[in-house]
A and B are shown apart, each in its own frame.
Chain A
């Protein structure tokens, strides 16, 4: 069985699996991660074949972290995306003192932009475009990890998760490495785009939140920037938070502090170019 220990900032993760697809995925996307020996392991993850007789005609994959088995099994050919989903779940649900919410985070000159993720809003495509076309450093495309002690956002640079139409769009970005496609998952066709080298190498640098931008893709032509009130932004972020309730007062105060320091806008756009222009307009960054 394949057994490796990866440093995927800010965590050390051990992964064991007999699936060739998982090995291929890790080698494609995490080959630059140092593999410390005898390190403290935060999450001990195993992706194992399903149990029971039906594995003979319907092979399945199971995700385990330590002794927990949080998901129903998936078809075995989805073991690699299951690793990413399972790791997201683990980071969001383990109590580690961080506030975790669903958003992409990117940074330029120490200032971070937060793109909360509502389904269909186009967050991942925009995130890939900002990182691969405009030089923003990727902190995460799924998980905003907020440290209440410093108010900083912590980087967890991992492959950007692409769905359906966005796969073709992002594959055309120059210099982008896109992995294998997984068909017929719960989310449709799924593929991943590798973060830039810079994003991995600077993974230990956190960033200060500066802008909160709610992306809204619409097929109708037209583009628009609308300011969003802090109260509304707080409510919207709360909806996207995985553990604000569990974080109690500390989480509440950390989110209030975050909102005190960011400008909040909604952008509506019908093309990636428009979205990039609007972000540049809001952030005054190229």
Chain B
């Protein structure tokens, strides 16, 4: 499946902003069942400086410096990606989760794909006892990792309410968990926290969902914005497998990966520092259309 993606981010400021330094992570990755065909980003006002490099996680990160005074910042990103993924079935045979945990602890690498980088608390995902206890109900002794993770995903989907007004970016995980509501980002963080509490490696994935579902299928939650889900390391044979707790879906060909990290802080698509705005308003528009 080939998709054309348009992702427009607009910040409007109450007063003039004299200076901005931003990091953009807007280029979809190649790998993990997808291939980047083309990509471009247009920025208004025009930056004084643009430099790109791959960060630790392999994401192309563009550093942008804007020195022109401006009242709005518009970042227009276009990508074409081809996706061909063969995810395992949720009831497929898989190694017992305790073994996966112990293997992860013994990893011999600190690379971005090594499971050991994803078993510890991170900036936005603390390891909390109640969350771990919640997750452990899905993992009976000796149970398979796939079945456990899929069950946890299903429970989050049914126990938590999707409510875009309930949380903001800074709402702590503890609140999300206690109040049982939030958006895709929150659900992904909750699932990751529960898995890590059990010692299981879980990564945060930012990306897109196709906007119009195939005929006869329901429109997915989060399709008109950037989306987030979870990647779980299921042992060296199965490797990393995608779980979408917002939609209770194994990640297949409707998901396009932008970036992978420990939590949102590692992958946020647009991030930065500005000088001068008193208030800011953000609008994000995403269109993901299949190319036939």
Asked whether A and B interact, the reply is: no
